[in-house]
Structure 1
Amino acid sequence: MNRPVRQRQVRRALHGVLLLDKPLGWTSNDALQKAKWLLRAEKAGHTGTLDPLATGLLPLCFGAATKFSQVSLDADKAYRATLRLGQRMSTGDLEGELVDERPVDVDRAAIDAACARFTGPIEQVPPMHSAIKKDGKALYEYARAGLEVERTPRRVTIHSIDIVDWQHETLVIDVRCSKGTYIRTLAEDIGEALGCGAHLAALRRTGTGALTLADALTLEQLEAMDEAAREAHLLPPDALLTDWPSLQLDGGEAGRFLSGLRRRVQHADAPEIRVYGPEPGAFLGSAHITAGELIADRLLSPPEVQALLQTA
């Protein structure tokens, strides 16, 4: 009996950013591949890995937007974290084994003081169960072998810690922080400051730069849509750069800019700027201005600019 021939999916060029609410238990790459398949997109990437046990905002970049994914990777992040006080786990979260249990005898003043202690620029020692490499091997490889190695502390900034809820052994906090912050480590450090220990029981990313979870779709919502509705939810590539100042060029100057030529402009110097052509939605790329000179950093190709104009 002949098996039915499975048709290969025809991919297409799409340009934009999809805000996905990553489900629990999925890797970031699994979620990306599912969304990429649903949209039949040729080129896609995500902007910052979330652990399988974490949920929330995962910006996905398609086509021209992948050129600016580093902006989202470097942006500040916002999380809602649930801490289980009184228990310390081998991995700092629910994936590990219980290694220490202590009574929880704290009050609100102690919690406020502990959170304040870790607000601002701090040094964090990366957890053993992380992908940071030492001597060519990821730290989690050492951890799985039962080894603990010396790690270099990393300087991060915790912009704010707001207490959302506290019910004896359960503490829920909202955290705004710089890139590279380990919330698992923050949870453990707060637990030690309280004298009872703690681990991260749940984590949800609520923001990346100017992007928020409020506008994100779940995979179930995406699956329930037709293709046109899915595409309509794509944000333009410059959605990753909305915090930057902008500059609009006329037609001639826009063409020269796209060819990579430096241009003299009447604009204040800026380390980061988004550049547009004369038509609405004509995003051309990113640049910086030094001594009145516009210098391109990441450029869209003419076909990509044209595709965005047609979408707009």
Structure 2
Amino acid sequence: METRRDNKPLRLLFVGAGGVGAYYAARLIESGNSVVLVARGSHLKAMQSQGLLVNHDHFSFSNSVCAVDETTLKSQYQCGDFDVLVLCLKSQDTTSWLDSNKSWLSEGCTPVLSLQNGVENEGVVGTALGVHRVIGGLAVRIGAHIVAPGCIEAEGLGQIVLGPWPNMAANHGLKTMVENLADVFNKSGIPTRVAVDIQYELWKKLLVNNGVNPLSALTRKETGFLTKHPGYKQVVYAAMQEVAAVAVADGVVLTQSDVDEMFRLICEFDSIKTSMLVDLEKGRPLELDAISGSVLRRAQTLGIATPVTVLIHSVLTS
């Protein structure tokens, strides 16, 4: 596979131009990269007719963008027209997107960067396209949502951690591309670091996601409330400990220090509405299967009790 480390602007496709995807895309467009956004519905129509508006405490963007639907993407572009495909879809949509675009994706060898919740998306992409095309990634300390068609409100540092899937040693061929991506992201105002073991990093994020996302949907409270409330704070910590207990099913070791580190971080974060709470408020499907569901599947395989995750997941799915 051809890799690049020439510091030239990148050609990127963002699949899923919701809050997080549109925010990062705007940052990259502003710094001179070529970006195509795939969207649908009124959000797509608004971007096509009025452009994209992004509001953030330290960044604002209001400009025309190249936004298309999937049909237009496949008729007007080839997979090889892009240096990287960035997936910002909800995790429950990953398999269907890969299936519906199988022929288009197989015509090129463009790497796919997953910026999605959970620890299973990279494996799904790798099974469909080959591990040699998979870059794992996670967005950290960002809250970003569509507040009106074509309009995004974002907050937080918006950091990214990325690396070849499942780690640098096993997928060394993508090292140059990953380093180039990090260079371009950093120059675009997106704090980014390259991880030697991205699978481990994704599991560390799942500590936080399982700790606060389902509970925030259940209680309809922001993260700051949950981590300051004396009772809910204990529930958050217990749910995080259950993630550490089942990570071994994927060959990942999360220590007590990892749990404590991520717990401190979520307690120090600015209070935000989790994506799961926003989805609940808007009547959209929740990413439960990718977050608490992934914990419960591994717990069952290992024969480990995860009562906190079971209870919250069961209430939300009943």
Q: Shorter chain as normaliser: what TM range?
A: under 0.3
Rg comparison, structure with higher value: 1
Q: Which has the higher helix share?
A: 2
Q: TM-score, normalised by structure 1?
A: 0.25
Q: TM-score, normalised by structure 2?
A: 0.24
